[in-house]
């Protein structure tokens, strides 16, 4: 799944056409704090410098669209206007369409209407708390992506009253795809974008080798494995990435939309390797909620992506397609490695 690039590609192309210089082996990079995470942009070659500069501006632009903490963002404005049809920008339209489609495809394991539940738990404000069960019960009727109406012809959305959207599980993926596509169209042949847990690779490295992407060990201590990729996105979701502890209990930020409580699927992380960072962003969350058995079934039904599941016990399940490109780190003895077959 590749998202058509729009304004960004045009801006990049125009900028790059003005004049470029530099060695094809030279790296141009930037660190950008945006979208509630640290983002690394790297591009090699004569178009790299301008591409990275434009990419940085684009990330701030996207943040202004999809932030739920900035009241001035487009998404915050849409949530404030719930109960009426509202026009949306091209970027918002793309994300809404994909979010609703993938929510349906995953059987609701990914749901962009989980925002009010996330807020109750404090994950959107860092004011963590364990909500009263009655509070969750009262909010659950306002969770359900199928209630969101979108009119493609008029490019308008209807968010029912009481509902609110949160694209935290898809916006970084969307941005990664858009950036990668725009950079490629502008002539960048080698690039690496890291948006939080989302890694997007453009082409291969300058020496022709594949990119070697480490998968974080949820128990700490660096990577437990690596995958070799080219022109792919690698996205990981894990409960360990954001959580809080109360009375000896850990509460992770990935909420099961069917219960309103942190997902307890027996997994500590799910990594998706796919052509689209957007799809990887959504599926890493959805398959984390599903657990390894349902997640494996989902992979068998689709097989247009690969996955790495890490269980609470430290066992690793990988889908068959990634096996040749998967390397376990030295001395990993916390669990066993198993291959999921079609």
Partner 1 sequence: MSFFMSFFKSLWKQSPPESQPEQPPKLPPLGLMILAGVLFVGSVAGILWGSQTGTPKSLAVISVDGTHWETISLHQVTAPYTIELEPAPGQYNEILVAPGEISMAQANCPDGLCVAQGVSTGVGQPIVCLPHRVVINFRENEDSLDAYTG
Residues that bind partner 1 (CB under 8 A): 40, 192, 194, 197-199, 201, 205, 209, 211-218, 223, 226, 228, 234-236, 238, 241, 269, 271, 323-325, 327-331, 333
Q: What is the largest CA-CA distance in the chain?
A: 62
Helix (H) or strand (E) holding 177: helix 171-185
In the complex with partner 1, the residue whose CB is nearer, 73 or 241, is 241
In the complex with partner 1, the residue whose CB is nearer, 78 or 322, is 322
In the complex with partner 1, the residue whose CB is nearer, 41 or 117, is 41
In the complex with partner 1, the residue whose CB is nearer, 192 or 255, is 192
**Of the candidates 237, 240, 238, 231, which has an alpha carbon nearest to the alpha carbon of residue 325?**
231
| Least gap, CB of 171 to partner 1 (angstroms) | 17
In the complex with partner 1, the residue whose CB is nearer, 186 or 235, is 235
| Least gap, CB of 316 to partner 1 (angstroms) | 13
Please state the separation of Cα 99 from the chain's center in Å. Answer: 11
Judging by beta carbons within 10 Å of its beta carbon (0-12, 13-18, 19+), is residue 72 exposed, middle or buried?
exposed
How many Cα atoms within 13 Å fall on the side-chain side of residue 128?
Answer: 12
- Between CA 149 and CA 48 the distance in angstroms is 40
Sign for the CA dihedral angle at 114, 115, 119, 125 comes to positive
Please state the separation of Cα 225 from the chain's center in Å. Answer: 20
Phi, psi dihedral angles at 76 (to 5 degrees):
-60, -40
| Least gap, CB of 271 to partner 1 (angstroms) | 6
In the complex with partner 1, the residue whose CB is nearer, 9 or 289, is 289
**Of the candidates 176, 209, 178, which has an alpha carbon nearest to the alpha carbon of residue 284?**
176
| Least gap, CB of 77 to partner 1 (angstroms) | 32
Exposure letters 79-110 (e unless 16+ CB within 10 A, then b): beebeeebebeebbbbbbebbbebbebbebbb
Query: What SS3 state is found at 218?
Result: coil
- Between CA 310 and CA 223 the distance in angstroms is 12
In the complex with partner 1, the residue whose CB is nearer, 28 or 65, is 28
- Between CA 197 and CA 39 the distance in angstroms is 9
In the complex with partner 1, the residue whose CB is nearer, 40 or 150, is 40
| Least gap, CB of 324 to partner 1 (angstroms) | 5
| Least gap, CB of 13 to partner 1 (angstroms) | 26
| Least gap, CB of 327 to partner 1 (angstroms) | 6
| Least gap, CB of 328 to partner 1 (angstroms) | 8
């Amino acid at each position: 799944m590749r998202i058509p690039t729009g304004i960004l590609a045009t801006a990049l192309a125009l900028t790059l056409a003005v004049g470029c210089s530099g060695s094809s082996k030279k790296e141009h990079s930037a660190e950008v704090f945006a979208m509630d995470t640290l983002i690394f942009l790297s591009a090699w070659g004569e178009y790299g410098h301008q591409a990275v500069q434009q990419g940085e501006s684009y990330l701030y632009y996207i943040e202004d669209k999809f932030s739920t903490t900035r009241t001035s963002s487009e998404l915050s404005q849409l949530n404030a206007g719930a109960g009426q049809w509202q026009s949306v920008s091209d970027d918002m339209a793309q994300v809404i369409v994909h979010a609703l489609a993938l929510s349906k495809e995953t059987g609701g394991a990914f749901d962009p209407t989980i925002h009010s539940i996330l807020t109750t738990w404090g994950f959107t404000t860092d004011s963590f708390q364990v909500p009263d069960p009655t509070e969750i019960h009262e909010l659950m009727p306002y969770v359900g992506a199928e209630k969101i109406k979108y009119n493609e012809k008029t490019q308008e959305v209807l968010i029912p009253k009481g509902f609110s959207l949160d694209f935290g599980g898809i916006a970084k993926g969307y941005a990664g795809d858009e950036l990668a596509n725009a950079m490629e169209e502008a002539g960048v042949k080698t690039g690496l974008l890291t948006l939080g847990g989302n890694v997007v690779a453009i082409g291969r490295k300058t020496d022709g080798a594949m990119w070697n992407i480490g998968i974080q060990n949820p128990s700490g201590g660096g990577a437990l494995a690596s995958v070799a990729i080219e022109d792919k996105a690698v996205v990981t979701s894990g409960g360990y990435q954001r959580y809080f502890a109360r009375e000896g209990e850990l509460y992770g930020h990935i909420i099961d939309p069917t219960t309103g409580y942190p997902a307890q699927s027996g997994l500590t992380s799910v990594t998706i390797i796919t052509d689209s960072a957007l799809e990887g962003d959504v599926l890493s969350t959805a398959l984390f909620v599903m657990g390894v058995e349902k997640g494996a079934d989902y992979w068998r039904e689709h097989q247009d992506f690969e996955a790495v599941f890490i269980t609470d016990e430290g066992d690793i399940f990988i889908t068959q397609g990634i096996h040749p490109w998967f390397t376990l780190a030295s001395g990993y003895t916390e669990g066993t490695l198993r291959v999921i077959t079609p």
